[in-house]
Amino acid sequence: MSETALTPESILAAAEDVLRRFGPAKATVVDVARVLGVSHGTVYRHFPSKAALREAVTQRWLDRAHAALPAVATGPQPPPQRLRTWLETLFAAKQHKALDDPELFATYTVLVGESSALIDEHVRGLEQQLAVIIAEGQDQRLFTSAVDAEVLAHAVFQATAHFHDPVYAPTWSGPTVGQELTSLVDLLLRGLAV
């Protein structure tokens, strides 16, 4: 690839390929540059450090994994159904990533652990989507307004961690995991109801 045709997106795609092949412990910027047919200095012109490149790869992965969530959060369903759909969509995305490509999922789990500030910001964004749903439910008097929507969103996100935190991925292939999520969401909706 010529250096003039090199884009951040092409670097991120190559970095993902390198991470898939070598894993996070062995993947280097030199490996990424080699795949692209450029010098590692060229990669550094787009990403100032290995950490910045890995963080950008992680951000790209999170954005792709959760691409459907914003539309669900602002969709036309009534807030209780929208909350259920949002949580189910989040779980389906995580489950799909973990079960369909476990090696790459394990790699991203390592990268996520390295990027605490990025993850904190990402979680805040997810909780904000939940807060939008909950606030609308409060406005429609479907959800309790005794507690701030953002506080409730944080509580819902924490309560459902078993279905989106990668540490629980080994349990996501169990035969009853779908019913377990449904039962938990039923309980949360009853707790939020006026």
pLDDT one-digit tens code per residue, 129-176: 999 999 999 999 999 999 999 999 999 999 999 999 988 999 999 999
48: Cβ contacts below 8 Å, ≥ 6 apart: none
CATH number of the domain within which 181 lies = 1.10.357
Residue 97 and residue 48 share a domain = no
**Is residue 107 pLDDT above 80, yes or no?**
no
Domain for residue 60, yes or no?
no
Residue 27 and residue 101 share a domain = no
Tell me the residue ranges of DSSP E strands in the chain. none
Domain for residue 99, yes or no?
yes
What is the span of the domain harbouring residue 40?
8-53
Residue 46 and residue 71 share a domain = no
pLDDT, residue 23, reads: 84
Decide which of 110 and 44 is more confident. Answer: 44
Q: Whose CA is closest to 109, among 50, 35, 57?
A: 57
C-beta of residue 68 within 8 angstroms of C-beta of residue 125: no
pLDDT, residue 116, reads: 80
| Residue 63 identity | D
CA distance 16 to 63: 14
